[in-house]
Amino acid sequence: MKNSGLIIIVIIALIIVGGLAYYFLSMNSLSDINNTNTNQPSSNNQPSTNTETNNQPESNNIITETTSTPKTYDVEIKNFAFSPSSLTIKKGDSIRWTNRDSVDHTATSDNNAFDSPLLSDDESFTFTFNNAGEFSYYCKPHPYMKAKIIVE
């Protein structure tokens, strides 16, 4: 009787160890897949801007109102996380989410302000924020993936 109990405990321990090994090896494999993708443009989370040359003559009598040019910021989806996980932007700026994982993800706001389709590897979704506020969002298939955008 004691031997059968010991055998059951050993079998359960082997199942647990095997499950943990599978989990950690699959996470390493997913990380390796993402790291081997070297043809991707790097994202340094700096805004991309368009510069235009103005060939108009300067005039000291013209009063101009300066407004900031809307910018587009990049958020990468990789390793089951949004990067950066928090970003502060201005009204009129845009966010471009790009999936860098081998599994599909979404960028879905808690308040229904935006909802991307399922994004496959290397697919992007862009949304322009025209209202100030805090926009928390998540991934529908992986709701533990959370982040936020703060619009000033």
pLDDT digits (tens, 9 = 90+) for 86-112: 999 999 999 999 999 999 999 999 999
Pairing between β-strand 133-138 and β-strand 94-99 as defined by DSSP bridges: unpaired
CB 91 within 8 A of CB 129: yes
Least confident of 16-20, 27-31, 42-46, 111-115: 42-46
Query: Strand locations in the chain, DSSP E?
Result: 72-78, 81-83, 86-89, 94-99, 108-109, 124-128, 133-138, 146-151
pTM: 0.57
Q: Are residues 95 and 146 in the same domain?
A: yes
Same domain, 12 and 80: no
Q: Which domain holds residue 105?
A: 72-151
User: Does residue 45 belong to any structural domain of this protein?
Assistant: no
Q: Is 30 inside any structural domain?
A: yes
Per the structure, the count of domains in the chain is: 2
Kindly state whether residues 102 and 33 are assigned to the same domain.
no
Flag the least confident range among 12-16, 98-102, 113-117, 146-150: 12-16
Q: Could you tell me if 77 and 141 are in contact, meaning their C-beta atoms sit under 8 angstroms apart? A: no
Assess if residue 63 is contained within a domain.
no
Does pLDDT of 37 surpass 60?
Answer: no
Among 135, 132, 136, 134, CA closest to 152: 132
Specify if 131 maps to a domain: yes
25: pLDDT strictly greater than 90: no
Residue 33 lies in a domain: yes
pLDDT of residue 66: 56
**Domain shared by 76 and 133, yes or no:** yes
Are 32 and 83 within one domain? no
Are residues 94 and 140 located together in one domain of the fold? yes
pLDDT digits (tens, 9 = 90+) for 40-73: 444 444 444 444 444 554 545 555 455 679 999 9
